[in-house]
Amino acid sequence: LNTVKHSLMVNLGANSYPIYIQAGVLEHLGLLVQQAGLGPNVLLVTNPTVGGYYLVPAQRSLEAAGLRVSVATVPDGEEYKSLEWASRLYDAALEARLDRRSPVVALGGGVIGDLAGFVAATYLRGVPLIQIPTTLLAQVDSSVGGKVAVNHPRGKNLIGAFHQPALVLIDPVLLRTLSQREYIAGMAEVIKYGVIWDGDFFAYLEEEIARALQLDTEVTTRVITRCCSIKAKIVEQDEREYGVRTLLNLGHTVGHAIEAITGYQAYRHGEAVAIGMVAAGLLAVELGWWEKSDCERLNQLLTRTGLPMTIPGVDPNRLLELMQHDKKVLDGTLRWVLPRKLGEAGVVSQLSDDLVLRSLRRIILDR
């Protein structure tokens, strides 16, 4: 096979790029890199978990296309998304003799994508980045849109850049080795797209959630394609998050606070976002923004997906405090993304603490 057709384009002028979404597309990595005119050297960044499954096919495909591959393996874990590991990757890039046309290939979940992406954005003031996302979260969210970052001891993603990839390759088959828990957590972001942007997609999920959870290739391919196409449209309108891109933060205000209050241990990001979406939904109903029946449809879909919707025994005041410290709080006002319809959301600020606390209490279970 020497023609692989892209599924989507992200149109950003000189920074435009194709997304390939297809079972088995990993085999064509070398060919696609070559067709994009990139090389001759490649720095492939992965971790031992993902690399254990997919390094050999990725490397083989690149080498078959005549590319010289250097592999850098980062330990598995969010704590390695750091400046220290970025610095080690700069060393690897120098050793691999990467020049301005030689790509960094990120083979892994959002951690590898963000870290390798940060290195690609900064090494030689920017070299091409190829994203091969391997978690559902990375396939529908972090690999598209150009946000790259490392963590700082004082907070997550505080050091970063916008650096759009040159190419995104999404192989839904890779999700088969992902744990059920990681997969379900990623579904929270999938459901989010339905709520903020696309009511028909939400209805499709209601219909096909069982097949999606069984990793039916046809369904997962459609789901991923729809999510990436929504994200592409949003990023095309607002690359740097001054406007509509904010909507992608539905559920994240409360979600980030839940992650922080539990020391980033108890919940996967998507699980915290699911609980956050429930809180946002309750708030929207209280404000008269949203029909109660739509709120119930969301809660039902989250339940059927197997996502958590409540959190046991935390102090709602503490949760509120953490939200007010989130880095996205510009000039001290908390900005909430709330649903208006299934398929439409808006932003509101200056909700009273009382109102917010009332909704928070409803997602907190007594211990």
Ligand X SMILES: NC(=O)c1ccc[n+]([C@@H]2O[C@H](COP(=O)([O-])OP(=O)(O)OC[C@H]3O[C@@H](n4cnc5c(N)ncnc54)[C@H](O)[C@@H]3O)[C@@H](O)[C@H]2O)c1
Q: Which of 28, 81, 147, 268 is catalytic?
A: 147
Q: What angle do CA 237, 188, 11 make, to 5 degrees?
A: 20
Residue 259 known to be catalytic: no
Q: Taking the complex as a whole, how short is the minimal distance between the CB of residue 148 and ligand X, in angstroms?
A: 6
**Nearer CB in complex with ligand X: 172/194:** 172
Q: Rounded to an integer, what distance in angstroms lies between the CA atom of residue 170 and that of residue 19?
A: 7
Which of 22, 30, 72, 81 is the binder for ligand X (CB under 6 A)? 81
Number of chain positions touching ligand X (CB under 6 A): 28
Q: Which of 192, 269, 271, 297 is catalytic?
A: 269
**Nearer CB in complex with ligand X: 138/278:** 138
Residue 239 known to be catalytic: no
What is the full DSSP assignment across 121-177? HHGGG---EEEEE-SHHIIIIITSS-EEEEEETTEEEEEEEE---SEEEE-GGGGGG
254 near ligand X, judged by CB under 6 A: no
The site map against ligand X for 169-188 (x = CB under 6 A) is -----x--xx---x------
**Nearer CB in complex with ligand X: 230/285:** 230
Closest CA to 130 of 161, 106, 160: 106
Cβ contacts of 333 within 8 Å, gap of 6 or more = 349, 350
Q: Taking the complex as a whole, how short is the minimal distance between the CB of residue 53 and ligand X, in angstroms?
A: 6
259 near ligand X, judged by CB under 6 A: no
Is there a contact between 161 and 126 (Cβ–Cβ < 8 Å)?
A: no
Backbone angles phi, psi at 290, to 5 degrees: -140, 140
Q: Which of 28, 163, 226, 231 is catalytic?
A: 231
**Nearer CB in complex with ligand X: 173/320:** 173
Q: Taking the complex as a whole, how short is the minimal distance between the CB of residue 361 and ligand X, in angstroms?
A: 28
Residue 245 known to be catalytic: yes
Backbone angles phi, psi at 63, to 5 degrees: -70, -35
359 near ligand X, judged by CB under 6 A: no
**Nearer CB in complex with ligand X: 139/225:** 139
Q: Quick one: tokens of 349?
A: 């600020």
Residue 325 known to be catalytic: no
Residues 128-147 that bind ligand X (CB under 6 A): 134-135, 137-138, 141-142, 145, 147
Residue 241 known to be catalytic: yes
Residues 297-316 that bind ligand X (CB under 6 A): none
Q: Rounded to an integer, what distance in angstroms lies between the CA atom of residue 287 and that of residue 107?
A: 43
Is there a contact between 126 and 101 (Cβ–Cβ < 8 Å)?
A: no
Q: Considering Cα of 7, then 162, then 104, then 265, what sign does the dihedral take?
A: negative
Q: Quick one: tokens of 253?
A: 């205000």
Q: Reply yes or no: is the peptide bond before residue 40 cis, omega within 30 of 0.
A: yes
Residue 28 known to be catalytic: no
Residue 231 known to be catalytic: yes
Burial 106-126 (b: 16+ CB within 10 A, else e): bbbbbbbbbbbbbbbbbbeee
The amino acid that residue 9 corresponds to is M
Residue 299 known to be catalytic: no
Residues 34-63 that bind ligand X (CB under 6 A): 47, 49-50, 53
Residues 316-335 that bind ligand X (CB under 6 A): none
Q: Rounded to an integer, what distance in angstroms lies between the CA atom of residue 150 and that of residue 167?
A: 21
Reduced to 3 states (helix: H, G, I; strand: E, B; else coil), residue 313 is coil
Q: Taking the complex as a whole, how short is the minimal distance between the CB of residue 110 and ligand X, in angstroms?
A: 2
**Nearer CB in complex with ligand X: 40/52:** 52
Q: Taking the complex as a whole, how short is the minimal distance between the CB of residue 37 and ligand X, in angstroms?
A: 25
Which residues of this protein are in contact with ligand X, per CB under 6 A? 47, 49-50, 53, 76, 78, 81, 108-112, 114, 134-135, 137-138, 141-142, 145, 147, 156-157, 174, 177-178, 182, 269
**Positions marked catalytic:** 125, 147, 189, 231, 241, 245, 249, 252, 256, 269
